[in-house]
Amino acid sequence: MSRIQANLLLTLVAVIWGSAFVAQSHAMQVMGPMMFTGIRFLIGALVVLPLIVRERRAPGARALTVSDGGKIVGLGLLLTIGAALQQIGIQYTSVTNAGFLTALYVPLVPLLGWLLLRHWPHWSVWPGALACLVGAFLLSGAHELQIGLGDAWVMASALPWAVHVLLIGVVADRMNAPYTVAGGQFLLCGLLGLAWGLLFEPVSWDAVQSAAIPLLYTGVLSVGVAFTAQVVAQRYAHAADAAIILSSETLFTAGFGYVLMDDRLSPAGLLGCGLILGAMLLIQLLPMLRVLRPRAA
């Protein structure tokens, strides 16, 4: 897979995640956040199961080691913490604010990549990350300084999301088993979320039935398709580039909120959309110019 193909796949992931915020918000009207998180990730694990079986039976597939299992568990824990904090926050904040505040992981990814892995990204990532952050800030309306309890929960999810984005591609590439990595982390996240929900949240089959459409949509598309596509694409895309492209889910969240929830953007929000789009183009096109110039010469 080429870098451009990986970036396009990540853009599709951002579209799916942006639409999923609406479904997640609707589900919180009838069931607890951890129960919802657990069920949707178990659905996602079932979606990717056939791909795991095919991957494990493929010629040359190596047996998983204890170290491999530990890495999958680590990714699953990061995924669980990030998803749980985000889902709890969505109960108390708007869809658009949740989309913005989740994007706070964008500037953390290149910073953590430099501190932990000594990966120095292309210079365009730094202004791109800043433009993306400012754009999401304007888009959410948070410049009006209306940060509440739900916003704080979502903000806290930024760190585990950032570490997850930073490590997922490295682990999947080294193991050469992207579907196994994806499904393993989904299974752990689903079991932990379900266990927490059964122990500490009201359990109602009627609630599960009422949230069936959001559960299926987020479980099949947001988890099964999008998170798996993220694992595959990040084997070929730089983590910092991926973070900025994935943060465009903020842009798509606003769009789906406009169409499905009657949200309206202010002039500042429209400016934020432009900055996010510009950041995406910046980090994709500038590295390409460096490659094309020697060829032209």
Q: Which run of H or of E encompasses 70?
A: helix 66-90
For 1, the token pair is 């897979």
Whose tokens are 């694990």? That residue is: 45
pLDDT tier at 124, thresholds 50, 70, 90: low
| Among 198, 236, 194, residue whose Cα is nearest residue 215 | 194
The yes-or-no verdict on residue 59 having pLDDT over 50 is yes
158-175 vs 239-246: helix crossing angle, rounded to 10: 130
Look at residues 226, 168, 239 and name the one whose alpha carbon lies nearest to residue 3. Answer: 239
Residue 296: the pLDDT is 47
Q: What is the pLDDT of residue 268?
A: 74
130 burial type by CB count under 10 A (0-12 exposed, 13-18 middle, 19+ buried): middle
- Angstrom distance (rounded) from CA 126 to CA 107: 8
**Residues constituting the chain:** 297
| C-beta of residue 254 within 8 angstroms of C-beta of residue 263 | yes
Q: Residue 118: which residues within 8 A CB-CB, separation 6 or more?
A: none
Residues of the chain with pLDDT > 70, as a percent, come to 80
User: Which region among 133-137, 200-204, 272-276, 284-288 has the lowest average model confidence (pLDDT)?
Assistant: 284-288
Q: Averaged over 63-68, what is the pLDDT?
A: 87
Asked if 265 and 273 touch (Cβ cutoff 8 Å), the reply is yes
> Mean pLDDT score of the chain, rounded to an integer?
80
3-state secondary structure string across 88-126: HHHCCCCHHHHHHHHCCHHHHHHHHHHHHHCCCCCCCHH
Query: What pLDDT is stored for residue 216 in this prediction?
Result: 95
pLDDT at 144: 56
Instruction: Write the pLDDT tens digit of every residue in 71-96.
Output: 999 999 999 999 899 888 888 777 76
As a whole number of angstroms, the distance between CA 66 and CA 132 comes to 39
244 band by pLDDT with thresholds 50, 70 and 90 = confident
- Please tell me the predicted confidence (pLDDT) of residue 295: 46
Q: What is the pLDDT of residues 155-192, one digit of tens each?
A: 788 889 888 888 887 787 788 888 999 999 999 999 99
Q: Count Cβ atoms below 10 Å from residue 267 Cβ, excluding itself.
A: 8
Kindly state the average pLDDT of the residues 128-147: 65
DSSP-assigned letter for residue 235: T
Specify the DSSP element, H or E, that contains 13.
Answer: helix 3-27
DSSP 31: S
What does the DSSP 8-state code read for residue 218?
I
Say what the pLDDT of residue 213 is. 94
Band (142; pLDDT cuts 50, 70, 90): low
Q: What is the mean pLDDT of residues 6-18?
A: 87
Determine the residue type at 272: G
- 29-56 burial by CB neighbour count: b if 16+ within 10 A, else e? eebbbbbbbbbbbbbbbbbbeebbeebe
- Note the pLDDT of residue 292: 45
